[in-house]
């Protein structure tokens, strides 16, 4: 049995679907009731912050793919969530814990990334068999930023280098790691091309047949410097296939 935390999330939902399609016994954890699309998976209601439902969620699982994260709150509860999950997992046996992380988190000093570094450390110190996979930004991330400004006359975007990847390819890699585990850090995974968020914004507007001014906003300080140096990129591991243009065409 494989438990997927964050089974309703952008990544977790894809992981659940792909595991089910490959014939695995899957349990998805969420604080919400089971959505229609999760057919074929068991559903565990639970909250990794309060601990409610977590012992039951981990019972009988041999692998946990940890995709839950307080993304909307900059990961402020992520260490608490990881601690809760690790404690419950250790009571349940020695399941493998697979964690999805982000390329460059230890080099780009953003608050969310610092919290992910802490979660990596907790998992490394958990005494559970574990795998950590770092991926670059999903196509969905810049798209969310652009969609949020649909009604504004201009499109404001951070001036940043990026190597976006299709979330389904990251999910596929996590499924592969559940089937053929790697101990410790797996090879990073990144999208097929390096670009900038401004270039993605141009493609996004062109795909919608819309025109408006794109305003590139410099990212200040050490964070901006690290991003300019390419710390969010992994050019040696550009294993993703789908480009942002492919993603826009598919989502149209
Ligand atoms: N987005 C990117 O570009 C990117 C790139 C590389 C790695 N990652 C990593 O991939 C992971 C998933 O990202 P995502 O974009 O798929 O996130 P997301 O769509 O925001 O989903 C977050 C998930 O976390 C769950 N969650 C949050 N708080 C919880 C709690 N207290 N208890 C139980 N579940 C909780 C949510 O479940 P419910 O609300 O249903 O409870 C939801 O399913 C994160 O660790 C992120 O850092 C993201």
User: pLDDT per residue over 102-116, tens digit each?
Assistant: 999 999 999 999 999
Question: What confidence score (pLDDT) does residue 134 get?
Answer: 98
Question: What confidence score (pLDDT) does residue 37 get?
Answer: 74
Question: What confidence score (pLDDT) does residue 149 get?
Answer: 97
Residue nearest to ligand 1 atom 12, measured at CA: 67
Residue nearest to ligand 1 atom 4, measured at CA: 137
- 212 Cα: distance to centroid of ligand 1 (angstroms): 31
Would you give the DSSP letter of residue 128?
Answer: S
Q: Is 108 in the pocket of ligand 1 (CB under 6 A)?
A: no
Residue nearest to ligand 1 atom 15, measured at CA: 10
- 67 Cα: distance to centroid of ligand 1 (angstroms): 5
What is the number of H-type helices and E-type strands within the chain? Answer: 9, 11
- 11 Cα: distance to centroid of ligand 1 (angstroms): 7
Total structural domains within the chain: 1
Q: Residues 137, 142, 145, 146: what is their CA dihedral angle, to the nearest 10 degrees?
A: -170
Say whether pTM exceeds 0.95.
yes
How many CB atoms lie under 10 A from the CB of residue 36? 5
Give the CATH number, domain containing residue 53. 3.40.50.720
- Cα angle 245, 246, 250 (rounded to 5 degrees) comes to 120
Cα Rg of the chain (Å, integer): 18
Dihedrals φ, ψ of 229, to 5°? Answer: -75, -5
List, for residues 166-189, the tens digit of each pLDDT value: 999 999 999 999 999 999 999 999
> Roughly what angle, to the nearest 10 degrees, separates helices 111-124 and 78-92?
20
Question: What confidence score (pLDDT) does residue 33 get?
Answer: 87
84 vs 134: CA distance, rounded Å: 22
Which has more confidence, 77 or 39?
77
114 vs 93: CA distance, rounded Å: 29
Q: Is 117 in the pocket of ligand 1 (CB under 6 A)?
A: no
Residue 6: pLDDT band by 50, 70, 90 thresholds?
very high
Quote the mean pLDDT of the chain.
97
* Tokens encoding 69: 């994260």
Q: Is 69 in the pocket of ligand 1 (CB under 6 A)?
A: yes
pLDDT over 90 at 252, yes or no: no
Give percent of the chain with pLDDT exceeding 90: 96
Question: What confidence score (pLDDT) does residue 34 get?
Answer: 84
Whole-angstrom CA distances from 134 to 68, 96, 104, 187 are 15, 17, 8, 8
Question: What confidence score (pLDDT) does residue 30 get?
Answer: 96
Q: Domain span at residue 191?
A: 2-251
């Amino acid at each position: 049995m494989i438990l997927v935390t964050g089974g309703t999330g952008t990544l977790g939902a894809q992981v659940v679907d792909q595991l089910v399609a490959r014939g695995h016994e899957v349990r998805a954890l969420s604080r919400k009731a089971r959505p229609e699309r999760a057919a074929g998976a068991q559903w565990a209601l639970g909250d990794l912050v309060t601990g409610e439902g977590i012992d039951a969620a981990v019972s009988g699982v041999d692998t946990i793919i940890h995709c839950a994260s307080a993304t909307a709150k900059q990961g402020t509860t992520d260490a608490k969530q990881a601690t809760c999950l690790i404690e419950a997992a250790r009571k349940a046996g020695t399941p493998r814990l697979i964690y999805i992380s982000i390329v460059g988190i230890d080099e780009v000093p953003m608050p969310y990334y610092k919290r992910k570094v802490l979660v990596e450390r907790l998992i490394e110190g958990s005494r559970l068999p574990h795998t950590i996979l770092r991926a670059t930004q999903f196509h969905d991330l810049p798209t969310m930023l652009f969609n949020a400004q649909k009604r504004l006359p201009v499109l404001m975007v951070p001036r940043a280098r990026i190597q976006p990847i299709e979330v389904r390819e990251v999910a596929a890699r996590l499924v592969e790691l559940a089937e053929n585990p790697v101990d410790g850090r797996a090879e990073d995974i990144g999208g097929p091309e390096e670009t900038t968020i401004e270039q993605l914004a141009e493609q996004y507007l062109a795909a919608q047949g819309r025109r408006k001014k794109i305003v590139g906003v410099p990212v200040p300080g050490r964070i901006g410097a690290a991003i300019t140096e390419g710390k969010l990129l992994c050019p040696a591991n550009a294993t993703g296939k789908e480009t942002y243009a492919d993603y826009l065409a598919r989502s149209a």
